[in-house]
Amino acid sequence: MMIRTASTGQIMLVIQFFEIHIEERNDLLEAIINKFPQISSLHYIINQKANDSIYDLDVNLHAGSPHIEEEMEGLRFGSHPSLFTKPTQCKRMSYIKSRGILLV
DSSP string, the chain: -EEEE-TTS-EEEEEEESS--HHHHHHHHHHHHHH-TTEEEEEEEE-TTSSS--TTS-EEEEEE-SSEEEEETTEEEEE-TT----HHHHHHHHHHHHTT----
Interval 22-77: pLDDT, tens: 999 999 999 999 999 999 999 999 999 978 888 899 999 999 999 999 887 777 88
- Least-confidence region, from 17-21, 25-29, 35-39, 92-96: 92-96
Question: Taking the complete model, does pTM exceed 0.95, yes or no?
Answer: no
Q: What is the pLDDT of residue 72?
A: 77
- Can you list the domains of the chain with their CATH numbers? 2-98 (2.40.50.1070)
